[in-house]
Amino acid sequence: MSILVNKDTKLIVQGITGRDGKFHTGLMSKYGTNIVGGVSPGKEGETVEGIPVFNSVENAVKATGANTSIIFVPAAYAADAILEASEAGIQLVVAISEGVPVQDMIRITPILKQNGTLLIGPNCPGLITPGQSLVGILPAMIFKEGNIGFISRSGTLTYEVVNLLTLNDFGQTTCVGIGGDPVAGLYFIDLLERFENDPDTIAVVLIGEIGGDAEEQTAQFIHEKMTKPVVAFIAGQTAPPGKRMGHAGAIISSGSGTAEEKIAAFNRAGVPVAKEPAEIPELLRKKLAGLKK
């Protein structure tokens, strides 16, 4: 099975006529994703890669029955694009846009919750269920169908670690890049719950990073609720306090959010933490071997 996206996903692309939207529409369509439409105000009636373009998400949903949207809209307008999708009844929104103002996300988050809209991102690479649906900018060639769930705050490390998993014959059910912004949509616990309930997922690999306390809360959830093994890696283990490392949320402040704190929390929950990404396949192999004894 999978979580969030599969072969039945009906996707629209907001910002389909822009450079990035057009480029990644081509790649997602080539992978086999069911892209049913695009949205670009003032360009209804045009097509991109043979896909019809609509003036609004509402028009696109009415014409196609779309249930998922991906956002390739400049940061200043991204929150409103997310909100437009939500108000049109889209169930899952994947926001690729980087640099979306935190205030904008704070403004729309309660509305998304009220509407029952699920959000991945912003500032994320998206997600993929290998062999079924790619909704994002992930390089499709490194993914392989299998039974390992994958969640990551880091886009670049997603690519590196998934490639390691695939080379070690650990295929994936679904891989999700959640992004590293301070205010974002579905996060570790939300996704772990879904992987826990997915009968085809037998284990989960989790990539965290410094900043905030999401990993510490996640470790507590794993200890109390997860029956499936989890293996982790924390990026930024050598980062000095006060130094932001890439993502807006990846900053150690007031002595909290350190890699050491996160690693200790995972260890207490029985989650092995790799010292470097290359160790992840072996840690996963040991965890799975322990289940068979």
Active-site residue set: 247
Q: How far apart are CA 80 and CA 101, in angstroms?
A: 11
Helix, strand, coil percentages (3-state) for the chain, rounded to 5, are 40, 20, 40
Q: How far apart are CA 28 and CA 135, in angstroms?
A: 7
- If DSSP codes are grouped into helix, strand and coil, which group holds residue 116? coil
Q: What is the number of other CB atoms lying within 10 angstroms of the CB of residue 199?
A: 8
* Pairing relationship of beta strands 47-48 and 51-54 according to DSSP bridges: antiparallel
* Pairing relationship of beta strands 172-177 and 145-152 according to DSSP bridges: parallel
**Greatest CA separation found in the chain?**
62
User: Per this entry, what is the length of the chain?
Assistant: 293
